[in-house]
């Protein structure tokens, strides 16, 4: 195993539950049809808030999920190495990496965030305490878009277990609903664990 891959295995996104915890949390989530999709607007989720000094949430995740990340005076990553858990790709330019919201903002909106305050939506969009934010390959993130697990799964099958556990953790932490098809897809992914 290369030193870069070994270092990536040490850097973990916080709050990923065990399989047993994920199954317990999944059972507590309300199954309901999505609502208010037509009223969604990304600006309703203020994101990339300042974390410290000149560093915002995106830059903080790039530093957390990368190896050997060097930043300039504005906290922009100018070099480093990132491993995308969704597809296994390795990147050396921050421009090739997106910060993915595990549960997409529009998916959250349709699942209950339409009723939240702006401050709660800001916390959701910038959540560094749970498994909501991941540094991933940009075009893979764009292919995911606002899809839930019934419509999209990470291409790297070895990551589907962590993906399902993380998705459930985020939905549970924010008391979001899920659809029957979404629950079935999550259970299927947990079988890969």
pLDDT of residue 125: 98
Q: Across all residues in the chain, what is the average pLDDT?
A: 93
At 11 the pLDDT is: 56
Task: List the chain domain ranges.
Answer: 19-191
Q: What is the structure's pLDDT at 175? A: 98
Model confidence pLDDT, tens digit, residues 53-95 = 999 999 999 999 999 999 999 999 999 999 999 999 999 999 9
Dihedrals phi, psi of 16, to nearest 5 degrees: -75, 120
Give pLDDT tens digits for 94-138: 999 999 999 999 999 999 999 999 999 999 999 999 999 999 999
DSSP state of 182: H
100 sits in which H/E element: strand 97-101
Q: Does position 142 have pLDDT exceeding 90, yes or no?
A: yes
Give the helix/strand (H/E) hosting 8.
helix 3-10
The model's pTM: 0.93
In the chain, what percentage of residues exceed pLDDT 90?
Answer: 94
């Amino acid at each position: 195993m290369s030193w870069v891959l070994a270092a990536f295995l040490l850097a973990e996104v916080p709050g990923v539950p065990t399989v047993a915890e994920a199954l317990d949390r999944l059972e507590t989530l309300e199954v309901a049809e999505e609502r208010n999709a037509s009223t969604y607007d990304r600006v309703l989720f203020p994101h990339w808030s300042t974390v410290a000094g000149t560093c915002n949430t995106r830059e903080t995740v790039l530093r957390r999920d990368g190896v050997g990340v060097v930043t300039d005076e504005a906290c922009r990553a100018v070099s480093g190495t990132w491993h995308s858990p969704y597809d296994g790709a390795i990147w050396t330019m921050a421009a090739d990496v997106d910060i993915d919201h595990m549960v997409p903002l529009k998916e959250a909106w349709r699942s209950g965030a339409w009723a939240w305050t702006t401050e709660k939506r800001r916390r959701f969009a910038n959540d560094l305490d749970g498994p909501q934010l991941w540094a991933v390959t940009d075009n893979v993130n764009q292919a995911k878009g606002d899809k839930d697990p019934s419509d999209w799964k990470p291409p790297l099958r070895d990551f589907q277990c962590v993906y399902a556990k993380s998705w459930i953790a985020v939905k549970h932490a924010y008391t979001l609903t899920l659809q029957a098809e979404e629950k079935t897809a999550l259970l299927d992914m947990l079988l890969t664990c």
